[in-house]
Amino acid sequence: MINVEYNLNPDGTYRGVPNTPAQPPRNRRGLKVALVTLGVILAVSLCVGGGYLAGLHSHNTDDPTATPTMPASSPIIQTGNPTPGPTDITTDIVTPGGSMTVAQVAESCVDSVVMVNTEAVVTGNWNQSYIRSGAGSGVIVGAEGTIITNHHVVDGADTITVTLTDGTTFPAILVASDAIADIAVIRIDPEDTVLTVATVGKTSEVNLGEPAVVIGNPMGLGSTVTDGIVSALSRAITIDGIPMTLMQTNAEINPGNSGGGLFNSYGRLIGIVNAKASDTDIEGIGFAIPIDYAVEIANQLIDKGYVSGRADMNVQFLEITDYRSAIMYKVNRYGVYVYSVPESEDTEFQVGDYIVSIDDKNISTVSDIKALLMGHNAGDQVTVEVIRDEKRLKLTITLSEDTPNT
């Protein structure tokens, strides 16, 4: 399995849109906390075609542009490839309905891909506030202003703006976002502007080796087109500890392309670009979320505000990875502890439980728990071995449904 992380600098710092200033842990969410992470030497330096760090500047004390209030988005509709017309054997030219050149795909699809710019308030030294700006891409999938992008492009953003290819800029609202699928849905109010809506294709019609065109906003430069082929249909990789099955392409992808579109030669949107592996020894390995999965997740986000059926233990976890944090929390082992349990929750967990294993699978990080839960549904039962007061206990835990945005 290929391990890929979102947009890492060579020194391991994150280059995507930053999280909002640290808040106290919230109930009802499995907590991903690493107070001081252990140093890791990577054999491959990996980066994502994701939220590109555009700059850091002093905080403007004026209120940001108010985001619009809009009605609910319509479900995203998928359309198959057109049926090619007959081929003229004398000229080998396919009549209308056939595939297009890269230039024709670009002309047909470029206006459906937008720049997504974000700002997040961060606190520096001496409690001085700054605004950190980021940029990524998005694809218009609804005439009313619905746009698909990546979760990591908008994660933690305080304000989001969308810029069309003609330079028109709109404030956007976040409809909902899902970190596991790395899909987010945002909305703009186009008012009298007629938007170019992408024709959304179907994963079943994507073929290995067929032409692929990437359109996005690399390095914050604006609309950029690169081409290649579909290199693999379902590549298993891991990003931020989350296993994903992605489409692979050799079309060039750079930071800022995340959230942009992967199109086929019929001008159909077949994937949402989200990752790239890069090193001096690696070329042409980019990834996109297959369109059927992206649409399934996006439609649930539009309809419910979250992805239904996801399993959750409904407690917060704390990950201890070094001596200093172990001393701070007065524990004697590295690993994962139960940090808090909701008062209203009927569970066998207690605060301070050290997680040894879940269903006999050893647990050493919160990512291990997240990966294991992805193989379960709400309502399933798991056996969790814990150490409590230096005694080993086995708990039977019924998994609840993860409803983060409700």
Cα distances (Å, whole numbers) of residue 16 to 25, 46, 156, 282, 402: 22, 13, 10, 22, 25
User: What whole-number distance in Å separates Cα of residue 337 and Cα of residue 339?
Assistant: 6
Indicate if 376 belongs to the active site. no
Structure tokens at 380: 């399933």
Is 112 catalytic? The answer is no
Q: Which of 155, 178, 182, 353 is catalytic?
A: 182
Q: Which residue has the tokens 């708990």?
A: 395
Tracing tokens 């001085």 back to the chain, one arrives at: 128
According to DSSP, the residues that pair with 146 across neighbouring strands are 187
- In the structure encoding, which two tokens stand for residue 148, read together? 């698909």
Q: Are 139 and 147 in contact (CB under 8 A)?
A: yes
CB atoms < 10 A from the CB of 356, how many?
19
Which one of the listed residues 152, 177, 178, 402 is annotated catalytic? 152
Judge whether 184 and 141 are in contact, CB under 8 Å. Answer: no
The DSSP symbol for 379 reads T
Cβ of 218: how many Cβ atoms within 10 Å?
A: 24
Residue that is written with structure tokens 């700054």 in the block: 130
Rg over alpha carbons for the chain, rounded to the nearest Å, is 23
For residue 188, give the 3-state DSSP assignment.
Answer: strand
| Cα dihedral value 244, 248, 252, 254, nearest 10 | 0
Contact 216, 113 (CB under 8 A): yes
CB contact at 8 A, 285 and 248: yes
Say how many Å lie between the first and final Cα of the chain, rounded.
34
Distance, CA of 275 to CA of 396 (rounded, Å): 37
Q: Using DSSP, state whether 168 is helix, strand or coil.
A: coil
Q: Which of 258, 265, 325, 367 is catalytic?
A: 258
Annotation says 182 is catalytic = yes
Helix (H) or strand (E) run with residue 181 in it: none
Catalytic residue ranges: 152, 182, 258
